Amino acid sequence: MAEATPLYDTYLRAPLRFERGEGVWLIAENGERYLDFGAGVAVSSLGHGHPHLVDALKAQADKVWHLSNLYEVPGQETLGQRLTEATFADKVFFTNSGAEALECAIKTARRYQFSKGHPERFHIITFEGAFHGRTIATIAAGGQEKYLEGFGPKAPGFDQVPFGDIEAVKAAITEATAAILIEPVQGEGGIRPATTEFMRALRALCDEHGLLLILDEVQCGVGRTGKLFAHEWSGVTPDIMAVAKGIGGGFPLGACLATAEAASGMKAGTHGSTYGGNPLAMAVGNAVLDVVLSDGFLQNVRDVALVFRQGLASLEDRYPDLIEDVRGEGLMLGIKPKVPSAELLQAIRAEHLLGVPAGDNVLRLLPPLVTTAEEARDGLARLERAVESLRAARALKSA
C-alpha cells in the first residue's frame, strides 16, 4: 500500500481492489471472486451490472447528461409520479445522497412550522444510535460524539432521546418541537428495528402535538426489508421520508418525499440542488423501480430473507460461545459476535464474503435484493466457515 496517499485519511479502507462486478459477485484485480453481501452499504440493491440498469444508463448517456433545475426534467416527473403512487407521499425533491435527502427533510419540517406561524418550532427529536449523514446538520441529528468532535458547536435544534423510549420522547416535546426523526430500522447503529408499537406511539404523539413524523429510510427503504419501505410493516405512515442508497442501485441518488401538507412551506426559491434529479440519475432510478416494483420481486426478497433468518438462527444455536445475537428485517441483517466484530469481518473476508461493520459490535450483511436462495446458502456456508475459524483460533489461544 502507498505510504503517502493523495487522498484524505478519513477512511479506513480494506486492502482490496475490485475491478469488476457481476450480480452478487465482485472480482478483484487478481481475479479472485468475493460474494458481495455488503452491496456497497446497501446501495447496489440489484447487484452489479444489472442489464436493465446498464441499458438505462447507456441510453440516457447518449441523449443528455445534465440539464440543471432551470428546466423541466421529464425523468423527475416520471420517477416522482411513480414514487408518490407507490407511497404515502404527494411531493418529491431529488438529491444526490442520503445526507442531502435528510437536509431537505429537516428543512421541510422546519419550514412547515414556520409557514404555519410557528418559527419558534424548529427542534427535532432524534434517537441514540441514529445515523443520518455527515453534514453539519445531520451529525447534529445523529448526535454521535465521534462524528461531532472538533467540528465546532453542534448545530442547534436536535434533541436526542434513547431509542424505543416513548416516555423520553414525551418528556422531550416542548413548544419548540417541530418533528420527530427516526430510522424504522437503525442501520449504522447496529441493525436495530423499532417495534410496531413504538412506531404507532410516535405517530400518535405527532398527531397529538402537531409535529411531523420524519422517517429516515435511506438504508432500510427500497425493498431492503421485503416491503418497498420499512414503515409499511408497522402500518404507520410518515409526513416526510428521506430515501437514498438502494434507489440509485449504485448511481448517486436520493429523494425527500412528503405529503402535500408537510411540503406546503417549500415555495419556489426555498431550496435547490444543482445536480439533484440529474437525467442520468433519473434514468437509473426509474430502472431500479421497474425491477423492484415488478411482480413477485418483493416476495422473492422475503423468501430469500427467510433462508437467511433460518440459517443465522441455526448458526446462533450451534455457536453460542461465539454468537451473542442475530437480528434484522428482510435482507438487512446483523450478527453480534462475542468477539470484536472486526475479527468476524476479517474472518468472513478470508472466506471471500463481504459484509459491513456497524455500531453495537454488529456485523451487517446487506445482500443485493436479487440474491437467490442458493447464493444465500453459499454466503451462510462461508459465514459458518468463518465462525468455525474463529473457534479454532480461540481453542489454539487457550491451549
Ligand X SMILES: *Cc1c(COP(=O)(O)O)cnc(C)c1O
Residue 167: CB minimum distance to ligand X, A: 24
Residue 110: CB minimum distance to ligand X, A: 18
Cell of 282: 433519473
Residue recorded with cell 437503525: 186
Q: What is the DSSP letter of 140?
A: H
When the beta carbons of 34 and 131 are compared against ligand X, the nearer one is 131
Among 23, 133, 249, 359, binds ligand X (CB under 6 A): 133
* CA 361 to centroid of chain Cα atoms: 18
Sign for the pseudo-dihedral over CA of 393, 394, 396, 397: positive
Residue 108: CB minimum distance to ligand X, A: 16
d(CA 141, CA 135): 10
- Verify binding: residue 131, ligand X, rule CB under 6 A: yes
Residue recorded with cell 438504508: 219
- Verify binding: residue 238, ligand X, rule CB under 6 A: no
Mind giving me the DSSP string for 29-70?
TTS-EEEESSHHHHT-TT-BS-HHHHHHHHHHHHH-S---TT
Cell of 351: 472466506
Residues 170 and 115: beta-carbon distance below 8 Å? no
d(CA 387, CA 323): 9
d(CA 265, CA 259): 11
* Number of residue whose CB is nearest ligand X: 98
| From 49-57, 126-134, 328-336, 358-366, span contacting ligand X (CB under 6 A) | 126-134
Among 219, 225, 234, 278, binds ligand X (CB under 6 A): 219
When the beta carbons of 193 and 311 are compared against ligand X, the nearer one is 193
Residues binding ligand X: what is the number (CB under 6 A)? 15
**Residues 281-320: x/- map of binding to ligand X (CB under 6 A)?**
----------------------------------------
Residue 357: CB minimum distance to ligand X, A: 13
Positions in 158-187 near ligand X (CB under 6 A): 183, 187
d(CA 164, CA 214): 16
- Verify binding: residue 44, ligand X, rule CB under 6 A: no
When the beta carbons of 25 and 163 are compared against ligand X, the nearer one is 163
When the beta carbons of 147 and 319 are compared against ligand X, the nearer one is 147
- Verify binding: residue 99, ligand X, rule CB under 6 A: yes
Strand partners, 97: none
Residues that bind ligand X (CB under 6 A): 97-99, 102, 131-133, 183, 187-188, 216, 218-219, 244-245
